[in-house]
Structure 1
Amino acid sequence: MQTNDRAIVTFTGLAHGLVHTYELSIPIFVVVWLTEFPVTTALLGTVVAVGYALFGAGALPGGVLADRYGSNRLVTACLVGMGGSFLLLSVAPGVLTIALALGLWGLAASVYHPAGLALISTGVEERGTGFAYHGMAGNAGIALGPLLTALLLLAFDWRVVAALLVVPAVVAVGYALTAEFDETAAVSADGGESSDVDDDTDDGQAASLGEFLADSRALFTTGFTLAMLVVMMNGLFYRGTLTFLPDVLGGFLPPITEFVRLFEPGSPLAEEFDLAFYLYSGLLTVGIAGQYVGGKLTDRIETTAGLSAIFAGLAVVALLFVPAAQAGLWPLLAVSVALGFLLFALQPMYQATIAEYSPPGDRGLSYGYTYLNNFGVGAAGAAISGYLLSVAGVRGTFLGLAVFPALGLLFALTLWRRG
């Protein structure tokens, strides 16, 4: 990769990892807050849901702002906002302040994906490789964020831990203020002009509603609409599968004492050690390899062909998950590895596809719609899987969730055949 590519990938990788570190640290804090404050799970769940909802809902305006003011400024503002929200969290006297802090985090974090992905798509010439490293950094945050938070809570009060989590944001902001790169290098390399992207980024004027609607109408070609349906199917399957997966895995795993003789049956340590949690973390870690392979393949094959193959694999995994889990530990591990690998290999594929079906000047807007679909509409996958688990059991749930990758395969094949 060239110097400009490396600078952008480092900048976006730091920010992406932090977004997901903060995102996945929140459930760890929830356990502490339930004992710290006189609050019900229903109320606290609503408080957390508001922050996550803003994380998805802010993606579309974030994309508009990225096209207007530039991705560098917006990602830097995102880092400042996330660090500031966790600083506020560290001094929260009660649930109301926690709600405010999480809401501010959701708003700040929501602008990252459209801004960061737009920056890679217009600034990195080896786009597929850039998406691969970017995805790997995000998966590192997904896998290591909860673990880091849990380990810090062993030694410090939760408020101290929240304050310590501000430090990485400060470091990232410091890098952002000193990093130098060309946001439009890839546009020029593809034969476009930098002015196609940044004519409006410095005029200080917010995009009017008329401009927004006109840009949106121009953006939603048949190809882009099909790409949005692909993203929607990914989001529904992603959230529907992962939300209850730790609990599902726990139902298939035997007690830890059957594997590790260090633990005596009935010991407090054995009761605290949840093997399903570590298998779940391992599955997310495997996603790092999936991100890398998926990103590399976008530079070598048609992304629509890759999307079709991965969706087909996910549909098969969904159908085989419960039979494999019931067959024993090793089949369960194998199907879990396949799920983690394919689930995250899909992400750089659809990110690169969005870049192919959107003009450079509206790249931020296109990723805004992408993550409104992925995080916003995709959040319904959690409700769907929760309902299916209550009425159809685990086997019925995975059979129902298999519909999403099957539809994703149909939309991807249609997009592929259209060329």
Structure 2
Amino acid sequence: MNANERSITGFLMVAHWLVHTYELSIPILMTIWLREFSVTAAVLGTVVTVGYAVFGVGALPGGILVDRYGSRRLIVGCLLGMGGAFLLVGLSQTVVTVALALGVWGLAASVYHPAGLALISTGVRDDVRGRAFAYHGMAGNAGIAFGPLATAVLLLAVDWRLVVAVLAVPALIAAVVGLASEFDETAAVQVADGGRDASTSRSLASFVADSRRVFAGGFLLVFLLVMGNGLYYRGVLTFLPELLDGFLTSQLGPVDLQSIGLTGPVAAEFDLAKYLYVGLLTVGIGGQYVGGRLSDRIRPERGVAAMLVALSLLALAFVPAARASLATLLAVSVGLGIALFGMQPLVQATIAKYSPPDARGLSFGYTYLGIFGVGSLGATIAGWILTYASVGTLFVVLAGLAGSACLLATILGTRDGPSLAVDVDS
């Protein structure tokens, strides 16, 4: 990587880390909110869907703004908005105001993925782009692990309202630092007239024309398969801390916290399942790296299909393995963490392959509309299944989602001919 590429990658690693720090701290906080607001899993699943849905739906207009104004300003605004939203979460007194605050967070966070991934695809050369996607993904997974870990540890000592206020601070600092960063956003592609022309993206006709170009070739199949993946992702992660708690209790029984030196308020807030959840998310860092390196060596759509096969099998095996023994529970959790996050850089490389370079923001906007917008319904689906059906039913549904997405990826991987979108290195 050259200096420009290192600057881009470093800036995005910090921002990506923070986006997912907030995203995955929410399931940990949900274990508190279930008691604090006396609501069912179905109601709370619907509440958090508000924030997660806006997180995804906002990616499409975010992608349009990226192609018009560039990535840096949008990412700085994203950081400021996320920090402010978590301050609002800490001030919430009802589950309704929590939903509104999470909606603000989702709106701010929604622009990140189209902005950040478009920046990698236009600012980092093709021969090192997979590595940049891998580092970017690893940083996101560090946030995915750090958010729940920091939240769980802070909850041992202070009230949840103060916890979310503390979590808001890093984003506000990063926004200030981001304003001072310098790099060329389009160093790896040729852009007409040396940069973006804001006037070309202003009209509805231009948006429709650009969308038609984006969906040419194989992108439609990519869009459909990422929706299935998004439903799986949100469906499995949202209530996983609660599910792991039930499985651990059945395996270990009540844990004598005094025997390990935990007493008083610390013991009251200690939850072993939260730390297993953090461990599952942490191993995803390795999965991100493997997926990123694979995207440089094989056709990424075929790698996506392989990961989806693994996710489907893991969903079918999860409940039996979790109930069999502690060792099998740990093993299936590790496998889920690796496969769930290992496919992300492969998906991102597939998007870059099947989209035009001058509409990457719009392409990633559509992608994250599917992953996080439509995918946000996974939280609602999971909440209702857990309330009115069973844990086993939930994982069978998840297996079906991954299997359907795998079929689409397989069709895409058997297509002949090169992508319609070709990058030109500078």
Q: Which has the higher contact order (CA 8 A, sep 6+)?
A: 2
Query: In the TM superposition, what is the alpha-carbon distance from 1:239 to its structure 2 partner?
Result: 1.6
CA distance in 1, matches of 2:213, 2:226: 19
Q: Deviations over 1:191-226 (max 9, x none)?
A: xx132883324x5x8622121111112211240001
Q: Tell me if 1:309 matches 2:311.
A: no
CA distance in 1, matches of 2:148, 2:32: 13
Aligned to 1:190: none
Within 5 A, what are the aligned runs for 1:311-350? 311-350=308-347
TM-score (norm 2): 0.86
Aligned to 1:139: 141
Say which is worse superposed, 108-117 or 250-259, in terms of deviation: 250-259
Q: Tell me if 1:246 matches 2:241.
A: yes
Matched-pair contact (CA < 8 Å) for 1:235–1:377: yes
Q: Deviations over 1:58-105 (max 9, x none)?
A: 111000000110011111111122223334555667777655543322
Structure 1 residues 349 and 274 mapped into 2: Cα distance closer, same or farther (>3 Å)? same
Query: In the TM superposition, what is the alpha-carbon distance from 1:159 to its structure 2 partner?
Result: 4.9
Q: Tell me if 1:409 matches 2:406.
A: yes
Give the aligned residue type for 1:242: L
Give the aligned residue type for 1:223: G
CA distance in 1, matches of 2:157, 2:272: 22
Which structure 1 residue ranges, 5 or more long, are not aligned? 188-192
Aligned to 2:421: none
Matched-pair contact (CA < 8 Å) for 2:318–2:332: yes
Aligned to 2:420: none
Aligned to 2:112: 112
Aligned to 1:41: 39
Aligned to 1:10: 10
CA distance in 1, matches of 2:374, 2:290: 27
Q: Deviations over 1:137-185 (max 9, x none)?
A: 1111111113223433444555544443333123312321221111112
Query: In the TM superposition, what is the alpha-carbon distance from 1:244 to its structure 2 partner?
Result: 2.7
Aligned to 2:289: 292
CA distance in 1, matches of 2:414, 2:38: 52
Matched-pair contact (CA < 8 Å) for 2:53–2:377: no
Give the aligned residue type for 1:41: V
Which structure 2 residue ranges, 5 or more long, are not aligned? 417-426
Matched-pair contact (CA < 8 Å) for 2:78–2:112: yes
Give the aligned residue type for 2:202: A
Structure 1 residues 24 and 355 mapped into 2: Cα distance closer, same or farther (>3 Å)? same
CA distance in 2, matches of 1:375, 1:301: 26
Matched-pair contact (CA < 8 Å) for 1:68–1:198: no
Query: In the TM superposition, what is the alpha-carbon distance from 1:305 to its structure 2 partner?
Result: 1.6
Q: Deviations over 1:304-357 (max 9, x none)?
A: 121121111122222222232232111221111111100100111011101110
Matched-pair contact (CA < 8 Å) for 1:256–1:273: no
Q: Which SS does the other structure have where 1:185 is aligned?
A: coil
CA distance in 1, matches of 2:388, 2:89: 38
Aligned CA RMSD, in angstroms, stands at 3.0
Of 170, 178, 183, the match for 2:180: 178
Within 5 A, what are the aligned runs for 1:172-211? 172-187=174-189, 193-195=190-192, 198-201=195-198, 207-211=202-206
Within 5 A, what are the aligned runs for 1:262-277? 262=259, 272-277=269-274
Say which is worse superposed, 141-150 or 9-18, in terms of deviation: 141-150
